[in-house]
């Protein structure tokens, strides 16, 4: 893209894509922005096109807002911990030569292809169900009282479900990173007298740090908008109401489009703050 000419033609070439993207994103965003300053409750037939920041004030000052931010953060952090911890372990295991490696790898990746709604339903009905769930059988097998995961530990249950879906993604990225580590480095560490745990800590983990930051960045952006899993399992009850879910409730359950839109804009701003913050960290990590 060195010459003036090629730069101009490049711009013309990407213009359609940019245009579609802009329309796709800007129109809904502008409409949300517009509604967020309006008092719009279709069921009560109220529409007041400009009420200033009232929606924002009532959204931000309600108790449910702060608690939903807290829940969102807990959920994202929990899922990240499980997927990265588990992903590193799985990647190291999958890197070992073993029988049927190809099939095992495909099986490990499989959960990623299951739709969120489906996997949440499968977990809810086949694993967590108090009467028929596999865990209940397991508990009874050991003579314990079956545990009602979804009502006793709802947040944890959702974290487990979503972590199960995202584990393959983390594993896949970390596996490629593990495979790119030169075996001579590990052999050198072995000759230098480092036992396996030190080799993991001093050689493998630093090598993986870049891949780990990439996983954190990508997953955080997607995990901030978890919805289906909550909708299917707890419906936002028992302290599992994330910011996304709160917005949904305001718009559809309370039929308050103005308030919901204000919440949506707040969520967009918060997500961007998180994204910029993470980008900074990743950028720093990728530099050296």
Partner 1 sequence: MGRITLDRVQKKFGDVEVIPPLDLIIEDGEFVVFVGPSGCGKSTLLRLIAGLEDVSGGEIRIDGRPATDLPPAKRGLAMVFQSYALYPHMSVRKNIAFPLKMAGMAQDEQDRRIAKAATALNLTDYLDRRPGQLSGGQRQRVAIGRAIVREPAAFLFDEPLSNLDAALRVGMRMEISELHKTLATTMIYVTHDQVEAMTMADKIVVLRAGHVEQVGSPLELYKTPRNTFVAGFIGSPKMNLLTGAAAAAHGAATIGIRPEHLDVVDSGGTFTGRVGVAEHLGSDTFFHVHVPEMAEPMTVRAGGEVGLTHGDTIHLTPRAAHIHRFDAQGLRIA
Per CB under 8 A, residues contacting partner 1 are 182, 184-185, 187-195, 198, 202-203, 206-207, 209, 288
Query: Measured from the CB of residue 191, what is the shortest distance to partner 1 in angstroms?
Result: 5
Nearer to partner 1, 181 or 275 (CB): 181
**Cβ neighbours around 74 below 10 Å, total:** 16
Which of 49, 22, 23, 45 lies closest to 36, judged by CA?
A: 49
Which sign does the torsion angle of CA 31, 37, 42, 48 carry? negative
Of the pair 2, 191, the CB lying nearest partner 1 is at 191
Closer CB to partner 1, 30 or 281, in the complex? 281
Start-to-end Cα distance in the chain: 27
Residue 11 vs 202, nearer CB to partner 1: 202
Q: Which residues contact 40 (CB under 8 A, 6 or more apart)?
A: 46, 47, 48, 256, 257, 258, 261
Instruction: Report the nearest approach of partner 1 to the CB of residue 75 (Å).
Output: 32
User: Which of these, 211, 258, 245, 251, lies nearest to 56 by C-alpha position?
Assistant: 258
CB of 193 to partner 1, least distance (A): 4
Instruction: State the minimum distance, in angstroms, from the CB of residue 183 to partner 1.
Output: 9
Closer by beta carbon to partner 1, 159 or else 178: 178
Q: What ranges in the chain are assigned the alpha helix state H?
A: 4-36, 54-61, 63-95, 101-109, 116-122, 134-141, 149-152, 154-179, 183-191, 196-199, 205-223, 228-233, 243-248, 257-287
Shortest approach of partner 1 to residue 186 CB, angstroms?
A: 9
**Least Å from the CB of residue 201 to partner 1:** 11
- Least distance in angstroms from the C-beta of 95 to partner 1: 18
Alpha carbons 69 and 110: distance in angstroms, whole number: 31
Backbone angles phi, psi at 209, to 5 degrees: -55, -40
Cβ 111 to partner 1, closest distance in Å?
32
CA distances from 46 to 29, 32, 197, 217, 248 (A): 22, 17, 65, 41, 19
Query: Toward partner 1, which CB reaches closer, 187 or 253?
Result: 187
Task: For the chain, state the CA radius of gyration.
Answer: 24
Instruction: Please identify, using beta-carbon distances, which residue of 74 and 285 lies nearer to partner 1.
Output: 285
* Residue placing its CB nearer to partner 1 in the complex, 8 or 101: 101
Q: Which helix (H) or strand (E) holds 47?
A: strand 46-48
């Amino acid at each position: 893209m060195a010459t003036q000419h090629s730069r101009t033609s490049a711009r013309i070439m990407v213009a359609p894509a940019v245009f579609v993207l802009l329309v796709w994103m800007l129109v809904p965003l502008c409409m949300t922005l517009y509604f967020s300053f309006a008092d719009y409750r279709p069921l009560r037939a109220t529409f007041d096109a400009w009420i200033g920041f009232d929606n924002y004030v009532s959204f931000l000052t309600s108790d449910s807002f702060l608690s939903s931010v807290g829940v969102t953060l807990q959920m994202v952090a929990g899922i990240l911990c499980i997927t990265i911890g588990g992903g590193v372990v799985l990647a190291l295991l999958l890197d070992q030569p073993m029988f049927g490696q190809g099939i095992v790898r495909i099986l490990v990746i499989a959960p990623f292809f299951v739709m969120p709604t489906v996997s949440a339903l499968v977990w809810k009905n086949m694993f967590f169900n108090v009467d028929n769930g596999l865990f209940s059988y397991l508990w009874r097998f050991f003579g314990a009282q079956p545990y009602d995961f979804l009502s006793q530990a709802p947040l944890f249950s959702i974290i487990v479900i979503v972590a199960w879906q995202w584990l393959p993604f983390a594993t896949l990225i970390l596996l490629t990173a593990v495979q790119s580590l030169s075996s001579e480095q590990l052999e050198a560490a072995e000759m230098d007298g480092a036992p396996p745990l030190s080799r993991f800590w001093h050689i493998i983990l630093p090598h993986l740090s870049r891949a780990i930051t990439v996983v954190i960045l990508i997953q955080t952006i997607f995990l901030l908008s978890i919805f289906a899993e909550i909708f299917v399992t707890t419906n936002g009850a028992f302290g599992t109401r994330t910011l996304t879910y709160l917005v949904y409730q305001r718009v559809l359950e309370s039929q308050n489009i103005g308030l919901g839109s204000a919440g949506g804009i707040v969520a967009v701003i918060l997500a961007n703050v998180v994204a910029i913050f993470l980008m900074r960290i990743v950028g720093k990590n990728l530099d050296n």
